[in-house]
Chain A
Amino acid sequence: GAGVSQSPSNKVTEKGKDVELRCDPISGHTALYWYRQSLGQGLEFLIYFQGNSAPDKSGLPSDRFSAERTGGSVSTLTIQRTQQEDSAVYLCASSLAGQTNQPQHFGDGTRLSIL
């Protein structure tokens, strides 16, 4: 079956612009996660959705970052007024449920470059 789908695969934008990153999870997966992978920081958790609500958004680095999920499916991560330090690969993952040991399945990521 289809895996986690992320778009765009690459995004280059100028500093100060807003960007939207999209994640389409595996069908039937109620839990969705966003991570950021950057040089020097490794993989960092950003936010977790269970259905449409976000019980844990502790990893969002600043108020320029926000995410939403609608219909218990697609999620959008929005970064406003981008800065160069936002350059990273943004990974999305989904799992059957969040509070169990179900493994998380990852998309290929969006590589974001801020000029």
Chain B
Amino acid sequence: AQSVTQLDSHVSVSEGTPVLLRCNYSSSYSPSLFWYVQHPNKGLQLLLKYTSAATLVKGINGFEAEFKKSETSFHLTKPSAHMSDAAEYFCVVKGNTGFQKLVFGTGTRLLVSP
């Protein structure tokens, strides 16, 4: 079975400083991993995905994530936070055999202060 653990429920940064949102996964198979963002009263928007190609994945809005199999991690980073980045971020895992539903982490709320 697949699972993800988001290590921080809240992360606070100042505008212009780097962002690090941590995620560890557990999977019996070579997983597909995703990061989604959810702004208030909105659905989830895909930021980026890893599907066993390049381990460093670049997404939208300057975000990127690195798949590290040895550490079973898929942390999300951004060099410089913007006020508009304040939202809830979900790390998601999906198995690669047959239909595998998305399994969501509990989410990390990113707070950005001026």
B-binding residues in A (CB < 8 A): 4, 6, 33, 35, 42-43, 45, 48, 50, 55-56, 59, 91, 93, 98-99, 101, 103-109, 111
Contact = CB atoms under 8 A, between A and B. Distances in A.
Nearest to B100: A99
Interface string B76-114: 000000000000001000101011011111110000000
Interface of B: 32, 34, 36, 41-46, 49, 51, 90, 94, 96, 98-99, 101-107
Nearest to A45: B101
A47 to B, nearest CB: 9
B71 to A, nearest CB: 22
B96 to A, nearest CB: 7
A16 B99 CA distance: 34
Contacts of A56: 99, 101
A108 B73 CA distance: 29
Contacts, number: 49
Contacts of B34: 103
A48 B99 contact: yes
A42 B104 contact: yes
B45 A43 contact: no
Given A55-B99, A56-B101, A103 B43 contact: no
Nearest to A46: B101
